[in-house]
Structure formats: C-alpha cells, structure tokens
C-alpha cells in the first residue's frame, strides 16, 4: 500500500515536471542532448 | 550631500573574421565575468563581458559575431555592423574596436581592418595565432604594419594568454581617443554616398554605404527605405565599376602593405609534408575513398572496442536491479525503480561507451586537422545539391543534434536557401539515433563487429545522401540563388592534444548522462505508469491492456505494412513526443513488462526471442530490423527539433510541412525496404 502511494506520488511529481519542461520548450525553443555534443558547433556567435 | 556618479563604463568591441581566435581572446579578457544572451528578436548570441585593464579601469567587452567585411550578408553579420556603428538599442556604442587578425591569413583580415578603420572608431589591431604563423615561416613586421595602417598592432597568442598585457594597455589608450572623421572614399563614390545618406536612418559611414552600393538593392540587411534610393543611384553607376573602385582599391592597398610588412620564409618541411598529405586527402577520387575508409574504421572500432565496457555497464545495472528488489521487496515502488527507471534508463546508458568512442575518434580527427579536409571534400556534393558552403557547418552540427544545427542556419544569408537547409538538417544522423541503430543492429545484424560497423556507416551515408538529394529537389523547385562564398581554413596537420580531446569528451559524456538522468528518467517513470495501469486480471496481457499498449494498438495499423506491431508503436510514440533515443529505453521497459524471453537479461536477447503470435515465427527478422532503421533515418521523431524549426522559420506551416514530409518519406522508404527484404528471403529468419 505504502509502495503504491509512493510510486503514484513519484509519477505525479514527474508528470508535473515534464509538463513544465514541455511548456518551457514551446516558449523558449529547443535544447537537446546534442547542444553540447556538437563536434563542430554552428558559428552563429563570436 | 552629493553622491558621486558611477564612472562611465567604456566599451570595446572585438571584431574579426571567423576562426581568428576571437572568442578565445574574449574569454582571456573577461574570464568568467561574461554574460551570454540573445540579441533582441534573433537567435544570435550576444556575448558581453567585463575586463580589468592594467590601470585598474574596468571596461565592457563585446564579442561580435565573426564577419568577413562590413557588407552584411547574413543576420548575424548585420548585427555585428549595427553594434559597431552604435545603432542597436540593446548594446552601447563601442568607444574602440579591437580587430583580431589571423596572422596565418593576414590579407583576409586586413580588408576588415581597413573597413573598420574607415568608420572613424579608434582601432587596435591584434595579430593573433602568431605562433603558428611564425612556425609556418611567416614573419610580420609589426612596426611597418602599424605605420601603414595607422593603428597600434599587438602580437598575441590567445590560447596561451601571451600579449594580453600589451593589448590591455593599447585598449586603455584607444578608448580615450576621440572618433575621427571617416576616411573619404574615391571621388565618384563620394558624391553618390552623399546622395544616399539622406535616405539612410541614423548615421551611416561612407564604407557602409559604399558596400551597399556594391552589393546592390537586393542584398540582405539594407534598410528598406534605402532600397529605392539605392536603385536610383545604382542607375548611374554599374556595380562592376564600383566594385573595382572600392574593393579593388582596398585590395591593392592591402597588397602594398603586405609587400612591406610580410616576409615569407621558404616552406619548412612540416608545411611541405602537409601539402603532400593534402594532395592525397583532398584528391577528387582518392580523397573520398580515404574519407569513407576512415569513417568505416571509426565505426568498426567503435563497435569492437565498446563491447567490453557495455558488458560492464549491463552487469552493473542488473546488480542494481537485483539490489533494488532485495531492498524494497515486491511492490509498486520496487517495480517502478527496477522495471521502469533502471530498465529504461539503463537501456540508453548502455550505449554510452559507443557514443564516447565516436566522439573520441571525431575529436582526434578534428584535432589532427583531417576534419577540415573532410569539410572541403563534402563541399562538392553540397554544391551539386545547390547548397551553399555556409550551410555546411549547420549540417555537420546536425550530426550531433539537429537543434543547434537548425539554429546555426542563421549564417546563411539567402532566406530560401536557409529554409531548405533547415528542412534537410534533421536528416543528418544525430547522436540520438546512434543508440537506436546500435540496438537494432545488435538484434538483426548477426555478423562480426566490422559488418555491424559498415551497416552503421551505411546508415550515416544514407542520412547525408538523403539530405543532399532532398535539398537538390527543393532547390530545383525554387528560385536558384547565387552560391555564397565559403572559406575553409586548412590548418597544418598536427598530433592531437589529449587535453583538448579529453575536455571535449567529458563535456559530451556529461551532457549525455545529464539527459539520461533527467528527461529520459522522467519519461521512463511516466511510461512505467502507463504500462502498469489499468491493472489487467491476466498478468500476461498487462502490457497489451495498459494505456501504453492501447496507444500502441492505435498506431499498429500504420506499422503492420512495415513489419511491426504495437510494441514498436509504443516506442515510436514515446520517441515522437520526446527524442529518438527514448525508443531504446521504451523497448527496455516494454520487453521487461511483457516478459518475452524472460530468461534473458539483455534487451537484445529479449527482442530476439519475441515470436509473432499469429505465425509463431521470430518477429525481429532482418527485414523488420532494416525497415525500422530506415524509418529512423527519415522520421522526425524529435519534438525539440519541431519546436526549433517553428521558431527559426517563423511559421508552424514550415515545421508541420517538414514533419509531414519526413514522416511520409520514412513510411514509404521503410515499406519499400521491408517488401524488398522480405522478397529477398530476409523476412523469415533474423
């Protein structure tokens, strides 16, 4: 019983966090695993 | 009581061609005291820092985007020019400019230096990468250069911090100098500039107006009100004559200065060695063969060497799962941690050694100078596809991740060409596809590591080939624009520095692990819930009757013709809503819940053990595996990229069109491959 409640709490918390991330993604644009993985980064900068 | 006003913070702009070590110099000057944001309304990085000069004075330093001349051809160059002329509300006008010159290619940098000096802003010239120039036998007489250009010239090696004190002293002197009147242009142009000045907002410099005259009214970045005036003025003079008047005059001046200030020693043996190697590595036929052989070796070595650490990681994860079950006993929390989190995240993390090895090899290739030759080689097929050389770096960046790749297309001045590059960038094989390919190759390609490596190489080539082909089709369908210039610097070959490769590798490994520990972990927790609810009366049908199973069943009809069932459907759905590598994590949990091949501990073995309930034959045949790999080559299974394309292209229409085209292409190609492979008899046994 306690395990089930803890598991559900964890799922609920994670869902909320993922939802916040998704909204942030839509607002500010994407950031993906590769941003710091690029072997040669695009030079839209200095 | 009076309060002293805060001292006015003087501002210095760092200006230079791309690849002059400008950002390294900026980091040297400002250390950790820097802020990175975007210029208002565009995704061009605005890097501003603080530096303390030798006299204790604090100054503001702006690192401007790299540019070749003051004639802006792309949005980031436009911003650099605007900042330099003090026309941006979000950035203060600079009191002085430091023009960074690559001592190896002085002639290219001097053009920009001449232009900046003509603006009238106090200038300090910074002769960077001096050590490499000296090793290459290039001796630059700084005194002569300073005399001819009329600006102080400082010798620096930004990577080692040499010459920084002298540079700071010259900056301190320059920021106190007043702006001088801009240098007048040749007489015929002078009159035309005066006529245009009235139509121009703000206070343009002669050099800027002259560049606009040469580039013509259709060029990017010219204020709209100026275009008409420009058309009229251009009616008087032709572009060619103007080009000769201004560009030709500057080039002749640069040639005179270089004749006085630059001495080239006879080529040293190392340079000669580089030239000899280049003749082979950039050969129109042998060059491509060597490139394919090098990349093939990289992939084969990756598969072969990664086996051992992958086994260790698998054992570690299994031990953690056993420990979790032992500690918590049977129950939901134990199941969530063991079957959801550890199984799903573990299925992705197990590919860390392969990703690390790939980046070690790419890092070594970049460090030795070979990757620059590969860039030069690939410019030819890109030119054939109608893509500009400037699109190369964004496309190459997309081989790590399409998100920075798409953002990097900002350097492409032609709007249509930029859209085409954005459209095809996600077809380049990103690092998120690597775990998926590796997993599927492990399941259906049963040959030696070299066979598996070659299949992986084939998938990379297919991705790049498809991107170029699609670009060719799109460019033919649209107006053809002139190809923009593209300069690639070929550094001398050198031994890789292990420190640089090590730091880059650590950054990439950390990014991969961070992602596995955040987004992928979160999705696995959610997926565990969707796979275990609602509870089924029959445990063997739990997955099928769960929310995840039902969602998979909805997309199953579309996947059946490709040789796949609802389980792959769940993986594709989760990948679509997050990112591609999540497919592997999802398969980990799906096969964990379903219990197919229960005796096996490895995902690969569990997948191999799956049988088609209707026929009783193995599900993961070569045909099924190939069709799914092809599906992943083309499908846009990445929500971050869709959002980024929307933001960069400015419309949902383009993002959704791309999503639709890529999904359609993926389905058709996977269907064709599945049918062809089945007809060849590869659809029976794995």
Query: And the tokens for B265?
Result: 């020693």
Phi, psi torsion values for B53, nearest 5 degrees: -80, 175
Taking a C-beta distance cutoff of 8 angstroms, is the pair A15, B526 a contact?
Answer: yes
- The chain-wide mean pLDDT, for chain A, equals 65
- Strand ranges of the sheet holding B96-102, from the earlier edge strand across to the other edge: B34-38, B45-52, B58-63, B10-16, B96-102, B123-128, B153-155
- Rg (chain A; Cα; Å): 17
Highest mean pLDDT among B124-138, B249-263, B652-666: B652-666
Q: What angle do CA B635, B637, B638 make, to 5 degrees?
A: 135
Q: Which residue of A10, A17, A40 is in closest CB contact with B397?
A: A40
Q: Whole-angstrom Cα distance, residue B394 to residue B639? A: 19
- Cβ separation A35–B404 shorter than 8 A: yes
What single-letter DSSP state applies at residue A36? G
Q: Whole-angstrom Cα distance, residue A41 to residue B1? A: 54
* Alpha helices (runs of H) in A1-46, residue ranges in sequence order: 2-28
Q: Give me the pLDDT at residue B635, please.
A: 94
Query: And the tokens for B674?
Result: 């599945």
Q: Whole-angstrom Cα distance, residue B662 to residue B466? A: 11
Taking a C-beta distance cutoff of 8 angstroms, is the pair B551, B560 a contact?
Answer: no
Q: Which residue of B336, B393, B403 is in closest CB contact with A32?
A: B403
Does the structure show a pLDDT above 60 at B456? Answer: yes
Q: Which residue of A has its CA nearest to B330?
A: A3
Q: Give me the pLDDT at residue B633, please.
A: 96
Q: pLDDT: is B10 or B2 the higher one?
A: B10
Phi, psi torsion values for B46, nearest 5 degrees: -110, 110
Q: Give me the pLDDT at residue B262, please.
A: 86
- Cβ separation A45–B404 shorter than 8 A: no
C-alpha torsion sign, points B279, B381, B433, A34: positive
Q: Which of B395, B366, B365, B373 lies closest to B488 in space, CA to CA? A: B373
B407 and chain A in contact, CB less than 8 A: yes
C-alpha torsion sign, points B232, B236, B241, B242: negative
Q: Which of B418, B112, B77, B91 lies closest to B222 in space, CA to CA? A: B77
Neighboring chain B residues of A10 at a CB cutoff of 8 Å: 333, 336, 525
Mean pLDDT value of segment B557-579: 91
Does the structure show a pLDDT above 90 at B72? Answer: no
A23: distance to nearest CA of chain B, Å? 11
- Look at residue B194 and give its three-state secondary structure: helix
- Look at residue B355 and give its three-state secondary structure: helix
Task: Report the 10 Å Cβ neighbour count for B430.
Answer: 28
B512 and chain A in contact, CB less than 8 A: yes
Residues 6+ apart with CB under 8 A from B448: none
* Alpha helices (runs of H) in B181-223, residue ranges in sequence order: 187-197, 206-215
Q: Whole-angstrom Cα distance, residue B302 to residue A32? A: 23
Phi, psi torsion values for B536, nearest 5 degrees: -100, 145
Does the structure show a pLDDT above 60 at B238? Answer: no
B486: distance to nearest CA of chain A, Å? 13
**For residue B1, what pLDDT band results from cuts at 50, 70 and 90?**
very low
**H or E element in which residue B663 lies:** helix B652-679
Taking a C-beta distance cutoff of 8 angstroms, is the pair B103, B129 a contact?
Answer: yes
Mean pLDDT value of segment B135-141: 84
Does the structure show a pLDDT above 90 at A22? Answer: no
Provide the β-strand partners of residue B49: B34, B61
Q: Whole-angstrom Cα distance, residue B679 to residue B623? A: 9
- Look at residue B100 and give its three-state secondary structure: strand
Q: Which of B400, B386, B401, B406 lies closest to B658 in space, CA to CA? A: B406
ipTM of predicted assembly, 2 dp: 0.75
B221 and chain A in contact, CB less than 8 A: no
- Rg (chain B; Cα; Å): 29
Q: Maximum CA pair distance of chain B?
A: 94
Q: Which residue of B has its CA nearest to A12?
A: B526
Query: And the tokens for B570?
Result: 């769940």
Q: Whole-angstrom Cα distance, residue B84 to residue B205? A: 11
C-alpha torsion sign, points B165, B170, B171, B176: positive
- Cβ separation A39–B371 shorter than 8 A: yes
Mean pLDDT value of segment B81-89: 79
Q: Which residue of A18, A30, A44 is in closest CB contact with B644?
A: A30
Q: What angle do CA A38, B645, B352 make, to 5 degrees?
A: 30
Mean pLDDT value of segment B281-303: 88
Task: Report the 10 Å Cβ neighbour count for B504.
Answer: 19
**For residue A13, what pLDDT band results from cuts at 50, 70 and 90?**
very high
Provide the β-strand partners of residue B611: B618
Q: pLDDT: is A31 or B419 the higher one?
A: B419
- Look at residue B51 and give its three-state secondary structure: strand
CA B476 to chain centre: 25
Place of tokens 């299974």: B637
Contacts for B193-199 with beta carbons within 8 Å, 24 or more apart?
Answer: B195/B229, B195/B233, B196/B226, B196/B229, B196/B230, B196/B233, B198/B229, B199/B225, B199/B226, B199/B228, B199/B229, B199/B230
Provide the β-strand partners of residue B59: B10, B51
Termini Cα distance of chain A: 57
Q: Which of B659, B247, B673 lies closest to B462 in space, CA to CA? A: B673
Residues 6+ apart with CB under 8 A from B89: B40
Mean pLDDT value of segment B193-198: 72
Helix, strand and coil content of chain B, in percent to the nearest 5, comes to 65, 10, 30
Q: Which residue of A8, A14, A35 is in closest CB contact with B403?
A: A35
**For residue B184, what pLDDT band results from cuts at 50, 70 and 90?**
low
- pLDDT per residue as tens digits for the range B297-325: 888 888 888 888 988 998 998 899 899 98
**For residue A37, what pLDDT band results from cuts at 50, 70 and 90?**
very low
Mean pLDDT value of segment B417-441: 89
Q: Is the peptide bond before B681 cis (omega within 30 degrees of 0)?
A: no
Q: Which residue of A26, A36, A46 is in closest CB contact with B643?
A: A26
Mean pLDDT value of segment A11-16: 92
Does the structure show a pLDDT above 90 at B630? Answer: yes
Q: Which residue of B has its CA nearest to A6?
A: B333
Q: pLDDT: is B192 or B394 the higher one?
A: B394
Neighboring chain B residues of A34 at a CB cutoff of 8 Å: 400-404, 430-432, 511
- Cβ separation B404–A4 shorter than 8 A: no
* Alpha helices (runs of H) in B329-400, residue ranges in sequence order: 332-335, 343-349, 352-368, 370-384, 392-397
B507: distance to nearest CA of chain A, Å? 7
Task: Report the 10 Å Cβ neighbour count for B447.
Answer: 11
Provide, rounded to the nearest whole percent, the portion of chain B with pLDDT above 90.
20
Taking a C-beta distance cutoff of 8 angstroms, is the pair B514, B506 a contact?
Answer: no
Q: pLDDT: is B474 or B181 the higher one?
A: B474
Mean pLDDT value of segment B564-591: 89
Mean pLDDT value of segment B614-624: 86
Strands B123-128 and B96-102 turn out to be: parallel
Mean pLDDT value of segment B201-220: 67
Q: How many CB pairs under 8 A join A and B?
A: 161
- Look at residue B11 and give its three-state secondary structure: strand
- In this structure, the dihedral spanned by the alpha carbons of residues A6, A10, A12 and A18, taken in order and rounded to 10 degrees, is 180
**Which range (B93-107, B520-534, B583-597) has the least confidence?**
B583-597
Place of tokens 């070569």: B622
Query: And the tokens for B6?
Result: 């805060």
**Which range (B19-28, B232-241, B279-288, B328-337) has the least confidence?**
B232-241
* CB neighbour class for B166 (10 Å; exposed up to 12, middle 13-18, buried from 19): middle
Query: And the tokens for B314?
Result: 């698998």
CA B191 to chain centre: 44
Indicate the pTM of the whole model.
0.69
- Cβ separation A39–B403 shorter than 8 A: no
- The chain-wide mean pLDDT, for chain B, equals 81
Q: Give me the pLDDT at residue B351, please.
A: 85
Q: Whole-angstrom Cα distance, residue B411 to residue B279? A: 30
**H or E element in which residue B139 lies:** strand B138-140
Neighboring chain A residues of B14 at a CB cutoff of 8 Å: 46
Mutation choice for B interface testing from A7, A18, A41 by most B CBs within 10 A: A7
Q: pLDDT: is B508 or B271 the higher one?
A: B508
Q: Give me the pLDDT at residue B666, please.
A: 96
Place of tokens 């969530």: B336
- pLDDT per residue as tens digits for the range B368-399: 888 888 878 887 777 777 776 667 777 877 87
């Amino acid at each position: 019983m306690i395990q089930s409640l803890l598991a559900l709490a964890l799922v609920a918390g994670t869902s909320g966090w993922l939802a916040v991330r998704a909204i942030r993604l839509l607002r500010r644009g994407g950031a993906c695993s590769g941003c710091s993985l690029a072997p040669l980064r695009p030079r839209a900068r200095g | 009581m009076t309060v002293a006003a805060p001292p006015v913070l003087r501002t210095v702009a760092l200006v230079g061609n791309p690849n002059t070590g400008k950002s390294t110099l900026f980091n040297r000057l400002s250390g950790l005291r820097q802020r990175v944001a975007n210029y208002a309304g565009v995704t061009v990085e605005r890097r501003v820092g603080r530096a303390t000069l030798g006299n204790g004075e604090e100054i503001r330093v702006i690192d401007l985007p790299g540019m070749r001349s003051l004639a802006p051809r792309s949005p980031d160059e436009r911003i650099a020019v605007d900042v330099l002329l003090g026309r941006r509300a979000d950035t203060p006008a600079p009191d002085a400019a430091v023009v960074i010159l690559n001592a190896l290619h002085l002639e290219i940098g001097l053009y920009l230096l001449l232009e900046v000096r003509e603006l009238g802003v106090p200038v300090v010239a910074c002769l960077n990468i001096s050590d490499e120039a000296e090793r290459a036998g290039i001796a630059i007489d700084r005194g002569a250069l300073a005399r001819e250009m009329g600006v102080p010239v400082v010798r620096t090696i930004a990577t080692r911090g040499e010459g920084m004190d002298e540079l700071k002293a010259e900056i301190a002197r320059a920021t106190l100098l007043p702006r001088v009147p801009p240098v007048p242009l040749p007489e015929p142009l002078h009159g035309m500039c005066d006529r245009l000045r009235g139509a121009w907002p703000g206070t343009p410099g002669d050099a800027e107006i002259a560049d606009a005259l040469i580039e013509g009214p259709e060029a990017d970045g010219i204020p709209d009100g100026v275009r008409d005036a420009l058309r009229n003025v251009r009616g008087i003079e032709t572009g060619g004559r103007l080009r000769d008047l201004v560009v030709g005059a500057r080039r002749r001046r640069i040639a005179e200065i270089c004749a006085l200030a630059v001495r080239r020693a006879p080529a040293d043996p190392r340079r000669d060695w580089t030239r000899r190697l280049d003749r082979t590595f950039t050969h129109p036929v042998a060059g491509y063969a060597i490139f394919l052989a090098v990349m093939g070796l990289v992939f084969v070595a990756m598969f072969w060497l990664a086996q051992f650490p992958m086994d260790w990681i698998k054992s570690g994860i299994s031990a953690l799962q056993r420990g979790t079950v032992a500690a918590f006993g049977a129950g939901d929390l134990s199941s969530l941690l063991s079957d959801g989190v550890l199984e799903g995240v573990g299925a992705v993390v197990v590919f860390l050694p392969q990703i690390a090895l790939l980046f070690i090899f790419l890092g070594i290739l970049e460090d030795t100078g070979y990757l620059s030759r590969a860039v030069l080689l690939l410019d030819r097929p890109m030119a054939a596809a109608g893509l500009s050389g400037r699109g190369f770096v964004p496309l190459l960046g997309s081989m790590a991740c399409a998100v920075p790749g798409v953002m990097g297309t900002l350097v492409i001045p032609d709007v249509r060409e930029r859209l085409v590059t954005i459209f095809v960038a996600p077809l380049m094989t990103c690092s998120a596809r690597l775990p998926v390919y590796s997993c599927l190759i492990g399941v259906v390609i049963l040959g030696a590591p070299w066979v598996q490596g070659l299949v992986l190489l084939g998938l990379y080539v297919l991705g790049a080939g498809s991107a170029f082909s699609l670009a060719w089709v799109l460019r033919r369908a649209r107006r053809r624009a002139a190809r923009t210039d593209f300069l690639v610097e070929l550094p001398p070959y050198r031994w890789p520095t292990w420190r640089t490769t090590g730091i880059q590798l650590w950054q990439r490994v950390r990014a991969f692990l961070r992602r596995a520990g955040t987004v992928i972990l979160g999705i696995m927790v959610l997926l565990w819930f969707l796979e275990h609810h609602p509870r089924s009366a029959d445990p063997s049908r739990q997955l099928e009757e769960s929310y995840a199973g039902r969602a998979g069943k909805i997309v199953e009809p579309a996947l059946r013709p490709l040789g796949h069932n609802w389980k792959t459907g769940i993986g594709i759905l989760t990948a679509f809503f997050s990112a591609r590598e999540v497919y592997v994590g999802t398969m980990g949990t799906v096969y964990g819940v379903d219990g197919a091949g229960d005796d096996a501990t490895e995902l690969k073995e569990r997948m191999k053990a799956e049988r088609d309930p209707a026929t009783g034959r193995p599900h993961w045949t070569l045909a099924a595996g190939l069709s799914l790999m092809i599906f992943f080559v083309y499908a846009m299974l990445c929500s971050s990229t869709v959002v980024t394309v929307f933001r960069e292209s400015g419309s949902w229409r383009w993002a959704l069109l791309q999503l639709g085209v890529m999904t359609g292409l993926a389905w058709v190609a996977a269907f064709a491959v599945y049918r062809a492979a089945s007809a060849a008899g590869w659809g029976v046994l794995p």
